[in-house]
Every structure is written in structure tokens, then in C-alpha cells.
Amino acid sequence: MEPPEDRAAEETARSDVPGEDNGTRASGDAAAGTAETADGPDDPDDPGGISSLSVTSRIVLALAVAAVAVGATVHLAMVFLHVAPTNTVSQQYAGTISDYIYPEFEQNWKLFAPNPLQQNSDVQARADVRRPDGTIATTGWVDLTAMDVVQIRHNPIPSHTQQNELRRAWSFYTDSHDDQNRSNGLRGDLAQSYILRIVAHRFGPRLNGGDVQRIQVRSATTAVAAPPWSTEKIDTRTYYRVLPWWAVSPEDFT
């Protein structure tokens, strides 16, 4: 058996040999190296963000942001002047404001009015057509509003024409004519021509095998029934307003 002194000297010598560290020291060094790598500084050559773009890209981005900002400002200003009470600016630039707003950005607040619309009004039309044998035949009434509703229903992005063209044309006509269909202002002829051309375009120059000669328009108005819980009595019969026959010309179909 070795003396204690010799054994202690041998262990001391072995601990001084390179690569002979114990496991604890080795694992501590590895952890330190890992921490140093994770906490090391970012790459100074990769700044990221807008500063990493080229000068041309920065200019294009700045111009795009400026264009969006200017467009949004102009749009908000036009809409504000359109819906705001009449003032000096809106009067001076009334034509410019109307040209911008109509038809795509029209503001209609009837839904929030004290007396919202409580009627369904359909615009219908029929035509006199000349057949090849020279006889005249009258078509049945065609519900143009119902045709628009079919195009709008279940369509997430219906066109402005389908939603408002016919409705606004009829409103334009009734606002510019009395109950006897007599013009009450300078826009009466324009309103008549407008609705005539809309119907002519929807019918086309030929209908039911004949040439369209005349067109007649009417409205069918029905009040919305009261809800089941209401005791209000509402007349839900349909009432018609029939306009005179209007002759058409080839220009009305163009």
C-alpha cells in the first residue's frame, strides 16, 4: 500500500496535465461559450428597415405615401363640403364638388332621417313594337327594379348602376314634374330624356321580334307592412303612377 504522501503528489501531478480537467470545469466553459455567442452584438452591416432600402426605393415610397395622404385629404374635404351646410366655399366650387361626388361617392342620409322611407317603389316599363307584318303589339309590363334587385342580391360588390341608376332617374323625374306629369322647372325635359334613354337601353331597339316604337313607364308603390307586434294599420295595396307614351328615336339606343 502506497504511503499517503506519494498518493497526494501523484494526484497533484495529474491535475496539472493539459486536457485532464474534470467534467464540471468543461461544462462550465461550454456554457460560458454558448452565452457569449447568444449575447454577442448584432451584425453592424445589416441595419434593416427603411434605412436598408436604396435611394430610389426611398424616393418611390415617399412619393407613394405623399400621394395617398393628398388623395385622402382631398376626398375628405370634398365629402365634407358636400354634406356640410351651404357656405361660401361650397357655393363657389359647387360644380367641382358635384362632379367629384356623383355618382360614386353620393351621400344619402335617408336611413337616418326622422321619416325614413317606408315604401317599396318599383319602376316598370312596356313598349309598342312594330312587327315584320306592319302590325303594332304592346308588350307586358317589365319590372326593371326587380331585375336590378336580382343582380344586387347575394352580390358583395354590386355596381353603382344596379343600385342607384334607375332609382335616381325616377326620383329625378318625380321631383321635376307634378302629379299630372307637367314639368315644374327647367330640368323637366332633361329628366324625361334621362329615364327614357335608360329604359330604351335596357329594352334595346328590337323586342319580341319587332322594332321598338314607343315606351311607357310607370311606378308601382307599396307601403311596407307593420311588424307583427304593432297595432298600426297600414294600407299595403299597390298604387301606380303611369306616365304618357314616349316615342323613341335611334339616338335613344346609342
Contacts of residues 81-85 at CB distance under 8 Å and 24 or more positions apart, as own/partner, are 82/107, 83/107, 83/109
Tell me: the pLDDT tens digits for 81-127?
988 888 888 889 998 998 898 877 877 666 666 667 789 999 999 99
- Is 94 in the same domain as 149? no
Rounded to 5°, the CA angle 221-190-185 comes to 80
- Is 95 in the same domain as 205? no
- Is 125 in the same domain as 206? yes
Tell me: the pLDDT tens digits for 234-244?
999 999 999 99
Asked, for residue 20, whether it belongs to a domain, the answer is no
Rounded Cα distance, 13 and 7, in Å: 10
Range of the domain at 84: 54-101
Asked, for residue 29, whether it belongs to a domain, the answer is no
Burial class (CB within 10 angstroms; exposed 0-12, middle 13-18, buried 19+) of 215 = buried
Reduced to 3 states, what is the DSSP secondary structure of residue 110? helix
For the chain, the domain total comes to 2
Reduced to 3 states, what is the DSSP secondary structure of residue 140? coil
Please state, for a pLDDT cut of 70, what percent of the chain lies above it. Answer: 78
- Is 74 in the same domain as 177? no
- Is 230 in the same domain as 198? yes
Quick check: 46 pLDDT over 60? no
- Is 147 in the same domain as 224? yes
* CA distances, 214 to each of 54, 136, 172, 196 (Å): 66, 10, 21, 10
- Is 75 in the same domain as 162? no
- Is 147 in the same domain as 239? yes
- Is 91 in the same domain as 163? no
Amino acid (1-letter code) at residue 22: N
Asked, for residue 107, whether it belongs to a domain, the answer is no
Rounded Cα distance, 91 and 9, in Å: 108
Which residue matches cell numbers 303612377?
241
Asked, for residue 210, whether it belongs to a domain, the answer is yes
Least Cα distance to 126 among 244, 234, 4 occurs for: 244
